[in-house]
Amino acid sequence: MQKLLLIEDETLIRENLAELLTLNGFTVYTASNGNEGIKQATQQQPDLILCDIMMSEMDGFQTLEVIRANPLLSNTPFLFLTAKADMTDTRKGMALGADDYLTKPFTMDTLLTAIRTRLQREAQRKAHTHTLLQEQLRAMTNLSTHEYNTPLTGILGFTSLLIDYYGEFSRAENLSMLDMIKVNCLRLKRSLDNNRLITRLQTIDPADTAYSFFSTGRSEITADVFNKHLLSAGYRQNRQIPCQLNVESAQLVISDENLAIILEELTDNAIKFSADDQSIHITGRLKPDYYELTFLNHGQPFHQDDIKQTAPYRQFDRSRYEQQGFGLGIAITNKLLEFNKGSLHIESLDLSTTQVVVQLPIPA
């Protein structure tokens, strides 16, 4: 049976409505004021809440505000029952998250219709959310299988060759296979590290003592710093893409560790999505209020609609383009920039050219 919570300070109305709703197949919990209603809502987790507006101690608006601030109740359908329904009250209630208003006096048929309509909409919302979660889970599972198995297959393959044909390869061939084992290990480690990092960034509370690690610090950006990340990304992907680098040195208000993650993710993406015969263009300029980094690469198309849909574990045109990684780079970069009062903007200049502009904080 579906559970309703009725918050009403007039005893006769509360008892009559509770009885009628019970006769119509609902389990009904009641509360005589807002404070008691909040306690009942937290304990019973009702499927829908009916609440009077004009109550002592805590009115209906205050009650709704507290209810909506509770993550467990934030989506629970909430209907106001009121003898006062002017436009100002209606707007205020809707702004706070009310789903509907019923003006007293109302018929039982009107009340039941409103309740069933809202319960049906909530059931549809939950079904849609469940479908999206299942789709996301399937995508993550498929992606994880590929991302973990691909480097593991390389590691196992080269290891087997070295063991089964020990002594038959030249020193150069042995070193080449050991190097490929290292590349695959780095790819696997990066996949595991990024999964852990995005989970941490998405769930960390600003009150957490570790939050300051991601949101404070100072660093210096130089061409040498960039060259290190370009070499590292190229080695990890086993690709050497020409790069035109024009970066001004500057002091930044972001830690060395977090700057390194941002640069690593952005250079990694620039190399990953560039055509072999095209150069990457990276510029860095000190502006009056921020430091601006621009990445320009030519290769895999990145459509404007794709830009709007960038999200963790999301890859584009996977059937046409081989891609490494979980698609977490932009999500990680966005989170770190958000924590450090920076920003990121992606623009598709044409079918094969993508521009990424990053603004980083500088000392005042």
Residue 45 has pLDDT above 70, yes or no: yes
Q: What is the dihedral of CA 112, 113, 115, 121, to 10 degrees?
A: 160
Residues above pLDDT 70, as percent of the chain: 88
- List, for residues 59-92, the tens digit of each pLDDT value: 888 999 999 999 899 899 999 888 765 666 667 7
What residues does each domain of the chain span?
3-106, 139-203, 212-361
Confidence label for 96 from pLDDT (cuts 50, 70 and 90): confident
Residue 307 has pLDDT above 70, yes or no: no
Among the residue ranges 41-55, 188-202, 324-338, the one predicted with the least confidence is 324-338
Average pLDDT, the chain: 86
129/122 Cα distance (integer angstroms)? 10
Maximum Cα–Cα distance for the chain, whole Å? 94
Residue 157 has pLDDT above 90, yes or no: yes
Residue 93 has pLDDT above 80, yes or no: no
Among the residue ranges 28-37, 211-220, 273-282, 286-295, the one predicted with the least confidence is 273-282
> What's the average model confidence in pLDDT over 21-46?
94
Q: Please enumerate in sequence order all residues whose Cβ is within 8 A of that of 51, keeping only pairs 6 or more positions apart, or say none.
A: 6, 7, 8, 34, 37, 60, 63, 64, 78, 79, 80, 81
172/177 Cα distance (integer angstroms)? 9
Give me the half-sphere count of Cα atoms (radius 13 Å) on the Cβ side of residue 354: 22
Which has the higher per-residue pLDDT, 252 or 94?
Answer: 252
How many other CB atoms are found less than 10 A from the CB of residue 287?
Answer: 11
Query: CA distances (Å), 218 to each of 81, 164, 228, 233, 248, in order?
Result: 55, 51, 19, 24, 17
The fold for domain 3-106 equals Rossmann fold (3.40.50)
> What's the average model confidence in pLDDT over 329-348?
91
Confidence label for 308 from pLDDT (cuts 50, 70 and 90): low
pLDDT at 321: 43
Residue 86 token pair: 């002017």
Pick the CATH number of 212-361 from 3.30.565.10, 1.10.287.110, 3.90.1200.10, 3.40.630.30: 3.30.565.10
Among the residue ranges 50-54, 191-195, 270-274, 318-322, the one predicted with the least confidence is 318-322
Among the residue ranges 17-31, 176-190, 298-312, the one predicted with the least confidence is 298-312
Residue 309 has pLDDT above 60, yes or no: no
pLDDT at 143: 64
137/26 Cα distance (integer angstroms)? 34
State the DSSP code for 127: H
Residue 251 has pLDDT above 90, yes or no: yes
pLDDT at 323: 47
Kindly write down the DSSP assignment for every residue of 197-240, as one continuous string.
Answer: HHHHHHH--TTSTTHHHHH---EEE-HHHHHHHHHHHHHHHT--
Q: Which residue in this structure is represented by tokens 């198995």? A: 149
